[in-house]
Amino acid sequence: MLLKSNGFYCVVGAAFGLVSHFSVALGATAAPSVQPSSNAVQPAASVPESADASLPDSSASEDIDDRFATEGYLGVYGSLLQQTIPAFGITGSIYLDDDFRFGADISRGSSKFLFGAFKSQGAAVWGAWELADSFWLKSGLSYSRLDKPSAQEPLAALTKGIDKKIPQIEVRSDSLGVDVSFGQLWSYSKFSIAADYLGFTLPVLRLTGPKLPLFALQAARIDVLYNFE
């Protein structure tokens, strides 16, 4: 009888302990969770000090763009020899870079008062590179029309005089050539002076007329230019 009573109390005690444990676990699960207040101050995001360094510096490109759009020259010129005869013309150029200009010329020439009745008309496009200080190297392509009083070339007439043995029949020739010359450029406020000291034209394509000479001389060209901005 005592054994049965002790067994009964053991079963009741175990059941009571199991219920207590289950209640504690259930209470822990049902406890409300604490949410952080929306008014809490959030730490400010840090900005890397090197962020500005990653931005491109546009000052240099803006300088070049401004010069391309606004700076150049427009004027007139006279040349003692262009296609080996005196000429005058109109010229213009614009800076594409700090040391490079792109330009174009149109011209007319005549040697009537010097040696024979040679006449010329021409047009050219060219680029000029600054070598050092005010010195420039110029090179480009040109079209030239030359009206000659005979088949004699201007260079021969210039150096040897008019050859009377050649029939004096007017001859016209049209050609394309490559021009090369060097000179200097000086700027003074709103005006500039340019001088092409010496150069030559190499004919590369005959359009009309007789056989082309090996080269034609350019010398002593003076430009009077207005600086536009």
Which residue segments constitute the domains of the chain, with CATH numbers given?
62-228 (2.40.160.20)
Which pLDDT belongs to residue 156?
Answer: 84
Helices (H) and strands (E) in the chain, counts: 3, 8
Closest CA to 95 of 61, 125, 129, 49: 129
- Condensed to tens digits (0 to 9), the pLDDT of residues 74-129 reads 999 999 999 889 999 999 999 999 899 999 999 999 998 777 789 999 999 999 99
Classify 183 as helix, strand or coil: strand
Rounded Cα–Cα distance for residues 155 and 109 (Å)? 14
Higher pLDDT, 57 or 125: 125
Residue 155 has pLDDT above 90, yes or no: no
Closest CA to 75 of 181, 179, 183, 195: 195
Portion of the chain with pLDDT greater than 90, in percent: 48
Contacts 24+ apart (CB under 8 A), 2-6: none
- Condensed to tens digits (0 to 9), the pLDDT of residues 12-21 reads 444 444 444 4
CB 211 within 8 A of CB 203: no
Q: Residue 57: which pLDDT band, with cuts at 50, 70 and 90?
A: low
Higher pLDDT, 218 or 11: 218
Residue 182, number of CB atoms within 10 A of its CB:
17
